[in-house]
Chain A
Amino acid sequence: MNLVAIALAGLGTPLFIVVSFLSLHSFYSIDIDLTVLFIEMYRLAETPSLTAIPFFTFSGFLLAHSNAPNRLVALSYSLLGWLSGGLAIVALFICAFFTALTGASGVTIIALGGLLYPSLKTAQYDEDFSLGLLTTSGSLGLLFPPSLPLILYGIIASVPIDQLFLAGLIPGLLLLLVLSLYSIVKMPAQKEVCRPVNKQPIWPLVRDSIWEIGIPFILVGGIFSGLIALSEGAVLCTVYLLLVEVVLKKEIPLRALPDIIVKSMGILGAIYIILGSSMAYTNYLIDQQIPNALLSFIQLHIDSKWILLIALNLFLLAVGCLVDMFSALILVVPLVLPLAQAYEIHPIHLGIIFLTNLEIGYSTPPIGLNLFIASLRFKRPIFHLYRASIPFLALLFVCLLLITYIPALSLVLITS
């Protein structure tokens, strides 16, 4: 039956159907009443942190539909334009900022790709470089708060979400730093010709974008100071963005809101239903001691934590390029968590390793999701994008090794 399920998943059956089918079949085969699926799925209504997710998703969509991307690009270019490789670095930082707020759902490439790609091209950056940069940047930034995958990992692994937010900061910055250095190296030989012709003074640009730039700081500050809970932060973020983009700046007309709500809640629904359908199946696996069996099997063959980490990285990269980030988290974290505990890997460090892997897997050939989104967005054949993203993937892989083997990068901020 598992083979049937894998075959159907490969044919493009929605994953929640595949997981529900596996649950139904598994519980039926051990004579347990199938209503157990709903007893478990109903736990969705008992998880307080989940109430943050609809509001963060909606906020991300609001931001993407406003003029914020344009404003942020103009401002960052004004601030960093003087630097060698400035434009590429601008692209990296904006993509990271945007992904942190929208969750890695492909919104970044769609919302920002169209803005940044022509600028990079006219600045005479190599085409492959520009495509690779924008493709891999589509998931850059998901280690920064308030990224949805971080929150979801916190919920599934039962670790404090505010600590995960802190833990992601240094590894996230490391990824940005390495790619920025590469951008400086790959700067067009000729000085960037496309400096903004009418280079605008910085102050008005700062004033224009100050509302959006403030969000992560206010949010993180509020949550860490204990003033607001995560779910309250999400609601306030929505209120704030509605005030700024709809009332104050009037960039999003009121009549566009229903469409934005429906689009964003559609994305939320896709994640939510997999989470719901997998709850029973995860319990079945734990009940049948599958994670323990996996653990004893691995303990037979691997006795060092470091070798386990290599194996884990390879496994997670494969998962990341096969399955989308949210399903991967929901389905794989419960299996891997006991392994990490047995080998004394800190669950927060594991979370950061996990997300970095998925971030890279997202752009890994042959079927990383970012590649397909970029192929559609930039109208380039997929093989072209494979080639373009390889140098970036290699660099990100080096960062992954650093993040994996230097736990302090993730843990120093939470232990200090």
Chain B
Amino acid sequence: MRIRRLKKRAVQLEYWLLVLLFCSTFLLSFGQILLRSTFNTTFPWTDSAIRHLVLWVGLWGALWTTRNGNHLKIEIAKHWLPPPLRLIVQLIVSAFSSIVCLILSWQSIRFIRDEITYGTESIGGVDLWIFQLVFPAVFTLMAIHFIQIIAHCLRVYLRPNRSLGQ
């Protein structure tokens, strides 16, 4: 029960963080247009900050899409395979995806370590690597999500009377 509640909280957190990220990007972009058109001025860091916020929105949106299973893919198997085989295919696909996400997450941490060591840039006083933390965050959470699907598939496989949708 506790795990289920924790999972629900996590989903809510992801949801509201995505809303918050989009709203901040929107307000900052609109504010910049207003500043530029009325006072003919703007802060030197806004352009870069907006681009980085879009990076966050895009990757966080991708995480949300992972949760909903709506990633762009070639769906031949889904339409033509019989249901029992579909489960096995889903297991293989999720296992593979989780491994790739874990490797990506690890490589992104190494990337950020390099940036902390050698990086000199900042946006409005905030070091660049802080903006790059989105990479390991998103790929680790994606990996966790794929592992959850593996667990789900195994549960269904071991107890076949449970339907796939549960």
Contacts and interface: CB of A to CB of B under 8 A. Distances in A.
A12 B73 contact: yes
Interface stretch (B1-9, B108-116, B157-165): B108-116
A13 B73 contact: yes
B107 A37 contact: yes
A313 B88 CA distance: 37
Interface in B51-95: 51-52, 54-55, 57-66, 68, 70-79, 89-90, 92-93
Interface residues of A, number: 59
Interface in B83-130: 89-90, 92-93, 96-97, 100-101, 103-104, 107-108, 110-111, 114
A interface, over-half SS:
helix
A361 B142 CA distance: 31
B149 to A, nearest CB: 12
A13 B131 contact: no
Given A8-B93, A15-B73, A232 B33 contact: yes
A269 interface: yes
A367 B103 contact: no
Interface residues of B, number: 57
B93 A13 contact: yes
Nearest to B75: A12
A86 interface: no
Nearest to A265: B61
Contacts of A8: 92-93, 96
Interface string A293-321: 00000000000000000000000000000
Contacts of A55: 26, 29
Interface string A324-366: 1011000000000000000000000000000000000000000
A227 to B, nearest CB: 10
Contacts of B75: 12, 367, 372
Given A12-B75, A24-B103, A48 B51 contact: yes
A336 B26 CA distance: 35
B30 A235 contact: yes
A35 interface: yes
Contact of A258 (B19, B51, B52): B19
A42 B100 CA distance: 18
Given A266-B64, A269-B60, A269-B61, A12 B74 contact: yes
Nearest to B136: A38
A261 B114 CA distance: 34
Nearest to A58: B22
Interface string A233-270: 00110110000000000000000001001100111111
A273 to B, nearest CB: 4
Nearest to B78: A12
B18 A265 contact: yes
Contacts of A265: 18, 22, 57-58, 60-61, 64
23 contacts: A9-B73, A12-B78, A15-B72, A15-B73, A17-B101, A24-B104, A34-B110, A38-B107, A45-B51, A45-B52, A46-B51, A50-B58, A261-B18, A262-B64, A265-B58, A265-B64, A266-B68, A267-B65, A268-B57, A270-B65, A273-B59, A372-B75, A382-B79
The 4 nearest A-B residue pairs measured at CB: A269-B61, A272-B58, A269-B62, A14-B71
